[in-house]
Chains A and B, each alone.
Chain A
């Protein structure tokens, strides 16, 4: 069976390849596509879009382009779609709303009418320029606005006016919360993994089982458990008030502290396990060798054990950070309005405001970030020599 031919190997894999192609690759491609495509104009005004590309941007476009534009207006039967086009054009060049309404009415009555006779504005370069700029089926506008950027009238990229969009705040917040969670996991997980690797027998078994148990239990159940523990009448507040440390309940839920506590708990196994597995390969007598050569325990730790566990630490940190930037459930349930991370915003755009392009643009940013971290993690975990 080991000597299966390659075609047969692919035959065995083909159902899965087909399945993942349809239900995994296609959805992701569609996200990428939606993030950069803007078919509103090119779908309603296909002939114009095809013709206006050749216009040099001086004066007004040729008669062919104008004729194509009139044909598109006559051919279009979808008033909703035309409304979208008008709105889009109006946002690049104000005045289009009234101009388009008038033009559509007149062209439908007399298809051969010269546009300049309908309105003087058809003699202005700026209005045609707006159509040309929006005619491409591709756009970087959504990706830019996902980063709170926009194109100025001149085509240069500039920051959006302050206060108009909070995407950048949310991306930075996502990175910040993930960094705090990663740090908490490292500070808790590193000593824990070192202790687990240094003990033997049932002690080690218990320590590792305690890490694996949460990993195997439902994420939703664990988050629900934290909601119960952290709530105002939850156990932590009951105990602290019972022994008289505090008189009023602490606010532990629907805020940043709750998110960090719950996410640290959920992701801690991803930090402990890589460090632990690296430390298992370290010969146990190294520390005593360092001690016998006269190194202070602290020095031995810093110069011997810490560098040796570095690989595991980096793997663990990448895993935790990568998982936390995409987290949705825990911040959505345990966090407050100002603790929502990028995933929540994507879900909001997609499900509540039906703004698919913005959801896709933010999703693409999150996807690229995650895949970069994964590639880095893959490289590190394949590299057989510890990188120092």
Chain B
């Protein structure tokens, strides 16, 4: 019984992790096909990402869009989380539900609606439209993360600061914000990762000039599968890990 459970758990762990272990080594294949065994290791597909302008342009676009999305979503989400915190429980629950809805609404439906209004206002297929779209779906992650950090702050600490004569802005700057910082930073990392991985909304609101890395991967998965996809996947994973690590470091330094 015990052995059976261990085998079962191991099998499912394998099922969960294996796909990631399969794709990453293929980023370094020298073959023109995404298959095993890997004949020899080479960086030719990374070179392709840098040299071919469709890919290098897409990487640049992803950095611009994910960076702007992170700043915008983190600012809006953090402010709102601070506001939510001081509301009564009932009202807070209702507003929070509204703020979390972008996570629930099917992306295709949102994409159709966004394209319609962006076209009407005349801003479709611009960087702004893509950043706005990504920010909408990144906000719930920031909000959850910051709200979690704020909930963990002991109110007595802030009251102590107040009773020692600190003005409300000083309490905020010196007590609340530093204590909430871990939540803000992990929210920012999640926002960056969300934008980096977004495909569906991008299909609707981006023009050929705003093609992101994920969007480019999506179309090459549909049209011509090449190991460049594995290299792009490698970049997405490494990019996410790097941003998370950088924010973690920043958090250490601040704390």
Contacts and interface: CB of A to CB of B under 8 A. Distances in A.
Interface of A: 1-6, 8-13, 15-17, 19-20, 23-24, 26-31, 34, 188, 191-192, 195-196, 203, 206-207, 210-211, 213-214, 216-229, 231, 233-235, 238, 265, 268, 322, 325-326, 328-329, 332-333, 343, 346-347, 350-351, 356, 359-360, 363-364, 366-367, 370-371, 374, 378, 382
A322 B104 contact: yes
B9 interface: yes
A238 B225 CA distance: 19
B36 A211 contact: no
Contacts of B236: 218, 220-221
Q: Closest 6 interchain pairs by CB?
A: A27-B113, A326-B106, A12-B83, A225-B19, A4-B86, A13-B83
Given A20-B136, A220-B214, 16 more contacts: A1-B171, A12-B82, A12-B83, A15-B75, A16-B77, A23-B132, A210-B13, A211-B16, A224-B221, A238-B35, A343-B200, A346-B108, A347-B111, A363-B106, A366-B108, A370-B106
Contacts of A192: 8-9, 12
Given A1-B86, A27-B116, A350-B112, A222 B79 contact: no
B191 to A, nearest CB: 13
B127 interface: no
Given A228-B26, A328-B108, A9 B20 contact: no
Contact of B155 (A2, A30, A214): A2
A371 B104 contact: yes
19 contacts: A1-B171, A1-B175, A2-B155, A4-B85, A6-B86, A6-B87, A12-B79, A13-B79, A20-B99, A28-B113, A188-B12, A213-B20, A216-B193, A216-B240, A229-B22, A231-B34, A326-B107, A351-B204, A366-B108
A182 to B, nearest CB: 16
A8 B87 CA distance: 10
A222 B20 contact: yes
Nearest to A319: B104
- Residue in B5, B83, B204 with the greatest tally of chain A CB atoms within 10 Å: B83
Nearest to B168: A1
Contacts of B229: 224
B255 interface: no
B17 to A, nearest CB: 6
A207 B17 CA distance: 11
Contacts of B171: 1
B16 A265 contact: yes
Q: Majority SS of interface residues in chain B?
A: helix
A218 B204 contact: no
Q: Majority SS of interface residues in chain A?
A: helix
Contacts of B5: 195
A210 B17 contact: yes
Contacts of A4: 83, 85-86
Q: How large is the interface on B (under 10, 10 to 19, 20 to 34, 35 or more residues)?
A: 35 or more
Given A213-B16, A350-B204, A26 B108 contact: no
B65 interface: no
Contacts of B97: 378
Nearest to A345: B108
A24 B138 CA distance: 12
Given A218-B197, A218-B240, A233-B33, A224 B222 contact: no
Interface in B79-98: 79-80, 82-87, 93, 95, 97-98
A162 B113 CA distance: 31
B200 A328 contact: yes
Nearest to B83: A12
Interface in B56-85: 75-77, 79-80, 82-85
Given A1-B176, A228-B26, A234-B35, A195 B9 contact: yes
B87 A268 contact: no
A63 B83 CA distance: 62
Contacts of A26: 113, 117
A8 B168 CA distance: 12
Contacts of A16: 76-77, 79-80, 99, 139
A28 B13 contact: no
A80 B135 CA distance: 38
A229 B83 contact: no
Contacts of B95: 13
Contacts of B159: 2
A343 B9 contact: no
Contacts of B20: 213-214, 217, 221-222, 225
A24 B136 contact: yes
Contact of A23 (B36, B133, B172): B133
A28 B23 CA distance: 37
Given A9-B84, A220-B218, A30 B108 contact: no
A15 to B, nearest CB: 5
B214 to A, nearest CB: 5
B181 interface: no
Contacts of A207: 9, 13
